[in-house]
Amino acid sequence: MRMSGKSFKGGIHPGYNKGKTESFPITSIPFPGKVVIPLLQHIGAPCEPLVEVGDEVKKGQKIAESEGFVSAPVHASIGGKVVSVGPDYTPVGSRVKSIVIEGNGSDEQAERLNPARKTLEELSGEEIVAIIREAGIVGMGGAAFPTHVKLSPPEGKKIDTVILNGAECEPYLTADHRIMLEDPESVVLGLKAVLKVLNAHTGVIGIEDNKPDAVKTLQETVKGEKNITVFPLPTKYPQGAEKMLIEVITGRQVPSGGLPLDVNVVNLNVGTSAAIAHAIVDGTPLIERVVTVSGSGIKKPSNLMVKIGTTFADVIEQCGGTVGKISKVISGGPMMGISLPTTAVPVIKGTSGILVLTDQEVQLGEIGPCIRCSRCIAACPMNLLPNFLGTVSEKRLFEEAEAFHALDCIECGCCAYVCPASRPLTQWIRVSKAEITARRRKSQ
Q: Are 267 and 254 in contact (CB under 8 A)?
A: no
Report the range out of 5-14, 89-98, 118-127 with the highest average pLDDT.
Answer: 118-127
- 114 band by pLDDT with thresholds 50, 70 and 90: confident
| Arithmetic mean of pLDDT over the chain | 94
Segment 222-242 mean pLDDT? 95
- 417 band by pLDDT with thresholds 50, 70 and 90: very high
- 441 band by pLDDT with thresholds 50, 70 and 90: confident
pLDDT tens, position by position, 332-390 = 999 999 999 999 999 999 999 999 999 888 877 899 999 999 999 999 999 999 999 99
Segment 222-228 mean pLDDT? 95
**What pLDDT, on the 0 to 100 scale, is given for residue 267?**
96
Q: Max alpha carbon distance in the chain (Å)?
A: 65
**What pLDDT, on the 0 to 100 scale, is given for residue 3?**
63
3-state SS string over 354-366? EEEEECCCCCCCC
Q: Are 217 and 180 in contact (CB under 8 A)?
A: yes
| DSSP-derived pairing of the beta strands 34-38 and 95-103 | antiparallel
**What pLDDT, on the 0 to 100 scale, is given for residue 16?**
94
| % of residues, the chain, pLDDT over 90 | 87
Q: Which amino acid is at 68?
A: G
From the list 375, 158, 159, the residue with the least C-alpha distance to 266 is: 159
Q: Is the pLDDT of residue 53 over 60?
A: yes
pLDDT tens, position by position, 276-335 = 999 999 999 999 999 999 999 999 999 999 999 999 999 999 999 999 999 999 999 999
pLDDT tens, position by position, 122-168 = 999 999 999 999 999 999 987 789 999 999 999 889 999 999 999 99
Torsion of CA 146, 148, 152, 153, to 10 degrees: 30
C-alpha span between 47 and 394 (Å, rounded): 35
Segment 84-113 mean pLDDT? 92
Q: Are 420 and 47 in contact (CB under 8 A)?
A: no
Q: Is the pLDDT of residue 31 over 90?
A: no
Burial class (CB in 10 A: 0-12, 13-18, 19+), 362: middle
**What pLDDT, on the 0 to 100 scale, is given for residue 116?**
81
**What pLDDT, on the 0 to 100 scale, is given for residue 431?**
95
Q: Is the pLDDT of residue 442 over 90?
A: no
Stated pTM of the model: 0.94
- 59 band by pLDDT with thresholds 50, 70 and 90: very high
Distance set, CA 422 to CA 327, 345, 376, 409, 426 (Å): 17, 29, 11, 19, 11
From the list 118, 168, 124, 121, the residue with the least C-alpha distance to 142 is: 168
* Sign of the torsion formed by the C-alpha atoms of 305, 309, 310 and 312: positive
**What pLDDT, on the 0 to 100 scale, is given for residue 381?**
96
**What pLDDT, on the 0 to 100 scale, is given for residue 257?**
86
